[in-house]
Amino acid sequence: MLIPKNNANQMRTRILVKIVEKFLQGNFADADRIPLELRPKGGEVSRCCIYKDRAILKYRCMASMGFSPEDETDELTSLKEYGERALERQQHADNKLSVITDACSACVRSRYMVTDACRGCFAKPCQVNCPKQAITIINGRSTIDPDKCISCGRCQEVCPYHAVIRVPIPCEEACPVGAISKDETGKEHIDPQKCILCGKCLQSCPFGAIVEMSQIVDVLKSLSIKTKKVVAMLAPAVLGQFPGTINNLIGALKKLGFADVVEVAVGADITTRKEAAEFIEKMEKGEKLMTTSCCPAYYKAADVHIPEIKPFVSHTHTPMYYTAELLKKEQPDCISVFIGPCLAKRFEAESDPNVDYVLTFEEIGAMLVASGINVSDCPPEDFTKISCAQGRRFPISGGVAGAVASLVEGKAEFKPTAINGLNKASIKLLKQYATKGSEFNMVEVMCCESGCVAGPGCVALAKKSAIMVENYVKTAPDLRDKKD
């Protein structure tokens, strides 16, 4: 699902920029002015009044500092105090998504309704085809009884005027695993046991009521105290996210204070080799299927929601894992920061001792803006290690399976397909592959449609980023020509 730019997403970025600015100006001493600066007197009002706007902005600032609005026990606690707590904590912020209850609009349940486009036609296909007789004609117009309607959508399918529309609950509609639902008050609530941290609800909520717990303050603190080297691990989906070249961006990150920047595609090369070997071994044993993915949201979905597919999930680790492993072997005392498009990587990092923090492209962009760093103006620098073409193509749908195919060719029969985005339909399909079999023996699963280039932490359009990735791939050597 393509999420266009909107006020809710843009406000999230503006808040991140303000958080970084207040840190740089004096360790959050002036943080309580952020809601006032974003909603000044006489300015735009999004809700019932400017004061509710500011209250919601405070909650969103808390989340950007790493605190859950749902856990607030004292509304009088200032943003300055939250900032101080963030700087004092020894462990990074909790990894979860949270709903700001006061910002949630408590949308009515998903339903079908008849619009003014209805012509009250003689054929009445909507009424004739309704399995529950939920449609009656009132004043020459079709009317749907919500108490009888089972939301089958048949009326919408058969209406010749497209007069029937479905009114969804955006966050519930976007969640592929049913992790978000209404509580007894009608407000949305995220079940942390079901949530796979894909971020689809965060992107889709029109009211900006869903927030993530950021680790941006933890990274800012690490960069400022300079007791240890802080090293950025840059995911290949970064292509096209910022102005300038990838080499300009390396220079910009070093200007921010990162001691070094390593290419996560180097880890993807390792993943490709190991996953190709695993696939060949499984096929030689007579196994019917293997799924491949570099997405922790898929791993959690398989573990919690698709137990049928678990036996077929690859045991090979992700590019982030292998990149961090290499980095910590070479620089065991450094602080490692993965920079990528994904919220679920924070979940993966929880069980990986080699990854200290995870930032999104949006968060690193906020740090650059607040620091006054223009990527295009930064002197270009190179990665110490250069990856191969196969690893660089991981963030595009089909890239992971394609990389594995390049090393499997001639060694095992390879019949791939791709799940391009996790949703209710694709989860059902995965269950069918696991239980009933299929003509495929390799299934690549991407949680985000188009791949990691469309992740919830991206700041550029997926199509633009994919083109830039493909161009970057052309500049890299082939993994098959590279010696171990």
Q: What is the pLDDT of residues 145-160, one digit of tens each?
A: 988 999 899 999 999 9
Over residues 249-256, mean pLDDT: 97
If pLDDT is split at 50, 70 and 90, which confidence band does 483 have?
low
Query: In the prediction, which pLDDT does 468 show?
Result: 94
pLDDT in tens, 298-353: 999 999 999 999 999 999 999 999 999 999 999 999 999 999 999 999 999 999 99
Q: Work out the angle at residue 60's Cα, subtended by the Cα atoms of residues 353 and 110, and round it to the nearest 5 degrees.
A: 100
Question: Does the 7-106+171-217 domain belong in CATH 3.30.70.20?
Answer: yes
Tell me: pLDDT of 1 over 90.
no
Of 452, 460, 454, 455, nearest in space to 319 by CA: 452
Q: How many CB atoms lie within 10 A of CB 379?
A: 11
Dist. CA 132–CA 147, nearest whole Å = 10
- The CATH number given to 111-167 is 3.30.70.20
Please report how many Cα atoms fall inside a 13 Å half-sphere around the Cα of residue 378, on the Cβ side.
Answer: 24
Mention every residue, 6+ apart, whose C-beta is less than 8 A from residue 102.
52, 55, 56, 59
pTM for this entry: 0.91
Cα 218 from Cα 222, distance rounded (Å): 6
| 111-167 and 228-481 agree in CATH topology | no
Question: Quick one: average pLDDT of 119-139?
Answer: 94
156 contacts: CB under 8 Å, gap ≥ 6: 112, 162, 164, 165, 166
Binned at pLDDT 50, 70 and 90, residue 484 comes out as: low
Q: Identify the CA nearest to 163 among candidates 133, 127, 206.
A: 127
- Residue 2's pLDDT band (cuts 50, 70, 90): very low
The segment with the largest mean pLDDT, out of 5-9, 91-95, 364-368, is 364-368
Rounded CA separation 230/266 (Å): 19
Instruction: Let me know: does 341 contact 372? Beta carbons within 8 Å.
Output: no
Mean pLDDT of the chain: 93
CB 318 within 8 A of CB 271: yes
Q: For 39-88, what is each residue's pLDDT tens digit?
A: 999 888 888 899 999 999 999 999 999 999 988 888 899 999 999 999 99
HSE-up of residue 176 (Cα within 13 Å, Cβ side): 30
pLDDT tens-digit map of 260-303:
999 999 999 999 999 999 999 999 999 999 999 999 999 999 99
Query: What's the pLDDT tens digit per position in 166-225?
Result: 998 999 999 999 999 998 888 999 999 999 999 999 999 999 999 999 999 999 999 999
Please report where in the chains the tokens 């200007």 appear, as a residue: 255
320 Cβ contact list (under 8 Å, min separation 6): 233, 235, 264, 267, 294, 338, 340, 345, 348, 349, 352, 355
**To the nearest whole percent, how much of the chain has pLDDT over 70?**
98
- Over residues 247-259, the mean pLDDT reads 97
Q: Cβ(390)–Cβ(268) under 8 Å?
A: yes
| Residue spans per domain, the chain | 7-106+171-217, 111-167, 228-481
Share of the chain above pLDDT 90, in %: 86
Residue 475 has pLDDT above 70, yes or no: yes
Q: Which candidate, 252, 198, 255, 268, places its Cα nearest to that of 472?
A: 268
Query: CB under 8 Å to 257, separation ≥6 — which residues?
Result: 223, 224, 226, 230
CATH 3.40.950.10 fits 228-481, yes or no: yes
The answer to whether residues 324 and 211 touch, using CB atoms and an 8 Å cutoff, is no
